[in-house]
Amino acid sequence: MKYIILTIIVLFALDCNTLFAQNKHFTENGTITFEKTINMYALLEKQINKDDESYMRPAFESYKKNQKQFKVLKSTLNFANNKTLYTPIEPETATGGFFSDSPMAGQVNTVFTDLSASMVTNQKKVFEETFLVKDSTRKINWKITTETREIAGYTCRRANALVLDSIYVVAFYTDEIPVSGGPELFSGLPGMILGVALPHENMTWFATKVTDMPIEDKALAPPKKGKQVTNKSLYTTLTSVMKNWGEYAKPYLKAFML
């Protein structure tokens, strides 16, 4: 008799799980608001070396007295029909002086991604020039873990990876938004990426709000202005321009290719 009762309980639990799964809401289109947070003190500390310390160190100490440690920038990600458009929001006021000119401390990419076609159109600001990078989506070898956290009301699972051969990435995605997109050029997980951290680069992107709403086609229009290049040809151009920059070239190349 106890085996019959146990069987009934198990079947009832399975039915409840099935019913819950059937009634579970999945967000397939809408807008996500992201905040990019940069630890400016840590970022700027790395830029000081023995050759420029005599004038950079006093400038940095002055910066710390007048500026906050963390710089916060906002952006939006529209998504529908397996397409996404990531758009930075220009800050109302400029802060930080020349230290904030570092591309790592800004937002240089406006990214349209056609996930079905695995293609990206990225309008990238490089100093005074604008490039339109058309290429395939970045191939990221994600390692999914069992760690979870809640972001913007969604349960997200952690995944780790390396991009550009050396940049360690921690991402959090949710399968409650069945779109394999994310902020900037991060994608390729079985659900929307709502959080990204680059621990060694001292910056994060985290969703603060997800709005479930219909998205018009014009809100997913890819950017059109800029000199058309591929990632490979852009890298060739940048390395040529910065060939005499020495060690100063590395952080700029990393920021523009990220």
d(C-alpha 126, C-alpha 144), whole Å: 33
pLDDT in tens, 73-99: 999 999 999 999 999 999 877 665 656
Q: DSSP label at 106?
A: S
Q: What is the pLDDT of residue 5?
A: 44
User: What pTM did the predictor assign?
Assistant: 0.88
Q: What is the pLDDT of residue 97?
A: 62
Supply 2's token pair.
Answer: 């106890």
Q: What is the pLDDT of residue 107?
A: 94
Low-confidence ranges of the chain (pLDDT < 50): 1-22
Q: What is the pLDDT of residue 94?
A: 65
For the chain, give every domain's residue range.
30-229
Q: What is the pLDDT of residue 95?
A: 60
Q: Name the architecture of domain 30-229.
A: Clam (2.50)
Q: DSSP label at 117?
A: T
Q: What is the pLDDT of residue 6?
A: 43
Rg, C-alpha atoms of the chain: 22
> Cα dihedral angle (33, 151, 160, 203), rounded to 10 degrees?
50
Beta strands 167-174; 83-89: pairing state = unpaired
Q: What is the pLDDT of residue 26?
A: 86
Q: What is the pLDDT of residue 98?
A: 59
Query: What residues does 196 pair with on adjacent strands?
Result: 171, 205
The answer to whether residues 102 and 47 touch, using CB atoms and an 8 Å cutoff, is yes
pLDDT in tens, 137-154: 999 999 999 999 999 999
Distance of CA 145 to the CA centre of its chain: 19
What residues contact residue 73 under an 8 Å CB cut-off, 6+ apart?
Answer: 35, 36, 37, 38, 88, 89, 91, 106, 107
